[in-house]
Chain A
Amino acid sequence: MKLRFWGVRGSFAMCGREVLRYGGNTTSIELVAASGTRLLIDLGTGATELAKLLMQGEFGRGQGELPILLSHTHLDHIQGLPFFTPFFVKGNRIRIVGADPPGLSLQATLQNQLAPHYSPLNGLENLAAGVSIDTIVPGSTFTLGEFEVETALVPHGNMWTTAFRVTADGKVVTFLSDVEYPEPEAPLPEALHLARHADLLIHDAMHSDDDYQLRRGWGHSPARAAISVAEKAAVRRLALFHHSPDATDAMIDETVWRARAETKIELFAAAEGSYLEV
């Protein structure tokens, strides 16, 4: 399985020279199985960059097929949806798979994102390709093409995020972003279970330790929470993810150096760029 980070930034798409190396686009991750089948996680602004690549191939001809896992509906995870050009080509088969936000339906939430006040698209029904929205119950396990997906609900400030364990080609990627545990060093059992022996763990590491003291309760983790999960779940590699919009490339470098000094787990900071072999 290959993986490409199209967006690694948290909360807010950040532009400028200070963030060029890690990248400023918000969450979007592409997984590609050995056979070439794809799976996308989240529709942040990074998805608009992937869209350009997809449109050069079968999606430009209306023959593309793509399942998209949605961790939750905070804006930085869906803001690329109205600009994901494969939606505009009839024939493409695109499924959005995610949980209902608390007290709401996923369908209604995405419909509201495209409400006429907010978007000239004026509703999901005007996406030429159409979109099927499949609501899942977190905790369930299902298959999307060649990808086996195990899910769990994890706390994210005043709402919840769905975390994913994706298996393909005998390799495992676990996505645990937009999560804050009651104590950073005491990750919840469901998170550890999802990350068990993963080949790659992608974990929320939005805050530096100092910053975290000011941001407790906002739903994000410091790097030490990511390390704690990685160690306890004995993962092979850890990608620090969902970088703060205020974190420059130099600051992220420093976070990585500090984190490496704290653990024996192989780790790096997720960066927009080329395909990685899992």
Chain B
Amino acid sequence: MKITFWGVRGSYPVPGAATVRYGGQTSCVEIRTESGGCLIVDAGTGLRALGQKLSREGGVPRQFHVLLSHVHWDHIQGLPFFEPAYIPGNRIAVYALLTAADELDQVIGGITRHEFFPMPLERVPAQFQFIEVKPTVAMDIEDFHVLPIALNHPYGAVGYRVDADGTSVAYVADTAPFHEVLHKQHFLCGLEPLSHEDLAALAAMRAGLVAALRGVDTVVYDTHFLPEEYKRFPHYGHSTPDQALEICAEAGVRTLVLYHHAPSHSDDQMDEVAERYRQLGKAQGIEVVTSQEGMTLMVGAQEPR
């Protein structure tokens, strides 16, 4: 199994000279098995370039599977620009948490209404199918065994553990840590006091995540903030590399991939982050890799890197 990063940025795309090496497009990864099975996780702006590549691969009609962690703009904005969606006969299954009162197709359909985008979803030639995922309820999708994991993010988000080819990769974005804020379905303008139930819910979510990540080879984790940034914005729903390392160490993960970089982080700053956490990880026996747009990682200890 291998994983390719098409968008590694959080919040919004950041073009320009300062981000040209790590990349400016938002969340999107491609997971492939040795036999060519393909799973797409998140549909941020990185999806546009992935779609162009998949179109060049040919093989029409094709079935695509797109797992969404949640439906914030930076994770769905690429969908209207996904080239295979404009090829008749293609089928696109979109998996996501049912986060609020609206149906998922209305949420996705909502971004393609005329006020936002020129072609409405119902006129797109490919056939879309929307599938609700439930945390802890595993799904078999082609060659992949997929386990959705509840995460701590405004209006809810899910991570995914994906097993195939005798190895495993997990995608943990977007999530806040689990000690001082519990995201629910309302706006937070800062930290709120936590009830006993809240603390219990956080502990359960954290335990569920660690259990799901147990022994996973490679974990891609939301490390949007550096520790000093996190202190200012603990209620934004994102983690730091330190918090990711803590979870990965507890779960016995081999490789941690830093992901969902803050838009303000320049390439030079990311170089420092990469080196600092590579060292910190090494001290704990974890290989820490900082994701860059276009990077492909082989998953599984038996594979040469």
Give the residues from 58 to 76 in chain B that come closer than 8 angstroms, CB to CB, to chain A: 71-73, 76
Contact B73–A16 (Cβ < 8 Å): no
Docked CA distance A82–B115 (Å)? 17
State how many angstroms separate the Cβ of B47 from the closest Cβ of chain A: 11
Q: Are the CB atoms of A117 and B154 closer together than 8 Å?
A: no
Which positions 3-19 of chain B face chain A at CB distance < 8 Å? 11-17, 19
> Who on chain B is nearest to A123 by CB?
B187
**Cβ-defined contact, A48 with B187, below 8 A:** no
Q: Say whether B241 faces chain A, with CB atoms less than 8 Å apart.
A: no
Contacts of A12 in B (CB 8 A): 45, 48, 81
The minimal Cβ–Cβ distance linking B87 to chain A, given in whole angstroms, is: 15
Q: Which of A48, A75, A82, A245 contacts B116 (CB 8 A)?
A: A75
- Interface segment, one of B32-40, B99-107, B209-217, B269-277: B99-107
- Interface: B189 (CB within 8 A): yes
Tell me if B240 is interfacial: C-beta within 8 Å of chain A: no
Q: Which residues of chain B come closer than 8 Å to A157, judged between CB atoms?
A: 118
A23 to B18, CA, bound (A): 12
Task: Tell me if A20 counts as interface (CB < 8 A to partner B).
Answer: yes
* CA–CA, A272 and B19, complex, Å: 15
B53 CB, nearest partner CB in chain A, Å: 14
A85-122, CB under 8 A of B: which get 1 and which 0? Answer: 00000000000000001101000010011011111111
Residue B236 is within 8 A (CB to CB) of chain A in the complex: yes
Query: Given the known A-B contacts A112-B110, A117-B102, A117-B155, are A45 and B15 also in contact in the complex, defined by CB atoms under 8 Å?
Result: yes
B237 within 8 A of A: yes
Chain A residues contacting B80 (CB-CB under 8 Å) are 75
Contacting A at CB under 8 A, from B148-197, are 154-155, 185-189
Partner of A121, one of B115, B118, B187: B187
Q: Which of A23-54 contact B (CB under 8 A)?
A: 23-25, 45, 48-49
Which residues of chain A in 125-173 are interfacial with respect to chain B, using CB atoms and an 8 Å cutoff? 126, 128, 157-159
* Distance to closest chain B CB from A161 (angstroms): 12
Give the residue of A73, A79, A120 whose beta carbon is less than 8 angstroms from that of B115: A73
Q: Which of B20-28, B137-145, B246-254, B295-303 contacts A (4 or more CB under 8 A)?
A: B20-28
Nearest CB in chain B: distance from A249 CB, A: 12
Known: A23-B16, A218-B118. A126 touches B189 (CB 8 A): yes
CB within 8 Å for A119 and B15 given contacts A15-B20, A15-B293, A75-B111: no
With a CB–CB cut-off of 8 A, which chain A residues contact B77? 75, 79
Asked if B117 CB lies within 8 Å of chain A CBs, one says yes
Closest Cβ of chain A to B207, distance in Å, is 25
When chains A and B are docked, how far (Å) is the Cα of A73 from the Cα of B2? 39
Determine if A117 and B99 form an interchain contact, defined as CB atoms under 8 angstroms apart: yes
Q: How far is the CB of A148 from chain B (nearest CB, A)?
A: 28
Q: Interface size (A, Cβ < 8 Å)?
A: 48
| Contact of B13 with A13 in the complex, beta carbons under 8 Å | yes
Chain B residues with CB under 8 A of A119: 72-73
**Docked CA distance A45–B80 (Å):** 17
Whether the Cβ atoms of A83 and B263 lie closer than 8 Å is yes
Chain B nearest CB, measured from A30 CB (Å): 17
**A222: interface (CB < 8 Å):** no
Binary interface encoding of chain B residues 113-134 relative to chain A, with 1 for a CB under 8 A from any of its CBs, else 0: 0111110000000000000000
Q: Once the chains bind, are B115 and A109 in contact (CB under 8 Å)?
A: yes
Choose from B14, B19, B115 the contact partner of A104 (Cβ within 8 Å). Answer: B115
Q: With contacts A15-B13, A15-B20 known, is A159 near B111, CB below 8 A?
A: no
Given contacts A12-B45, A117-B99, A157-B118, contact A20 B16 (CB under 8 A): yes
Judged by a CB distance under 8 angstroms, whether A19 is at the interface is: yes
Given A74-B118, A158-B114, A83–B24 Cβ distance below 8 Å? no
30 contacts between A and B (CB under 8 A): A12-B45, A13-B45, A15-B14, A15-B19, A15-B23, A15-B24, A23-B15, A24-B13, A24-B24, A25-B16, A45-B12, A48-B14, A49-B16, A73-B115, A74-B116, A75-B77, A101-B115, A116-B155, A116-B185, A118-B71, A118-B107, A118-B111, A119-B72, A120-B187, A122-B154, A158-B114, A158-B118, A159-B115, A219-B118, A272-B16
The residues of B with any CB-CB pair to A shorter than 8 Å are 11-17, 19-20, 23-25, 45, 48, 71-73, 76-77, 80-81, 99-100, 102, 107, 110-111, 114-118, 154-155, 185-189, 236-237, 263, 293
The 4 closest A-B pairs by CB, nearest first: A24-B15, A15-B24, A122-B187, A101-B115
A13-B14, A13-B45, A113-B116 given; name 16 further pairs at CB < 8 Å. A13-B15, A15-B16, A24-B13, A48-B263, A72-B115, A74-B115, A80-B12, A112-B110, A117-B99, A118-B111, A120-B187, A121-B187, A122-B154, A159-B114, A159-B115, A245-B48
